[in-house]
């Protein structure tokens, strides 16, 4: 088996995913398995619309994926489905990043302390 991502331009355009128990670079046709659904939602925290990706069972342990700078929850798009079989996965976009509200620097303090406060309020509202 090749260690490259399959070429989806061929006639078989079905979904592809890594084999269970294998590295991300070992690919197989996923026609016989189902990928977890990833939901795209928003939540108001501290007066900001926070966009987040969510997948997995609600009653499973929650994994909160926080992106770096400059980035967004999009960086976790391939990881979220891999974790969603066993975990409730939440990946928000920080204010000013990805699909979350972006205020001017005169209207919002983009410090780590302020981002931590918004993240805390976000997680409180999720529960």
Q: pLDDT tens-digit profile of 31-65?
A: 335 778 999 999 999 889 999 999 999 999 999 99
Would you list the domain boundaries of the chain? Answer: 39-126
* pLDDT tens, residue by residue, 82-111: 999 999 999 999 999 999 999 999 999 999
User: pTM of the prediction?
Assistant: 0.71
In the block, residue with structure tokens 């990706």: 53
* Confidence label for 11 from pLDDT (cuts 50, 70 and 90): very low
The CATH number of 39-126, from 3.40.1000.10, 3.40.50.970, 3.20.20.80, 3.40.50.1820, is 3.40.50.1820
């Amino acid at each position: 088996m090749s260690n490259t991502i399959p070429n989806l331009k061929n006639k078989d355009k079905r979904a592809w995913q890594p084999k269970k128990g294998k590295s991300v670079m070992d690919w197989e046709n996923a026609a016989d398995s189902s990928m977890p659904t990833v939901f795209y939602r928003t939540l108001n925290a501290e007066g900001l619309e926070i966009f987040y990706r969510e997948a997995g069972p609600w009653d499973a342990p929650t994994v909160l994926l926080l992106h770096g700078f400059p980035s967004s929850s999009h960086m976790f798009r391939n990881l979220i489905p891999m974790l969603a079989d066993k975990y409730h996965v939440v990946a928000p976009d920080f204010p000013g990043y990805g699909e979350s509200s972006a205020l001017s620097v005169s209207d919002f303090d983009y410090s780590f302390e302020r981002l931590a406060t918004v993240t805390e309020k976000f997680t409180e509202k999720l529960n």
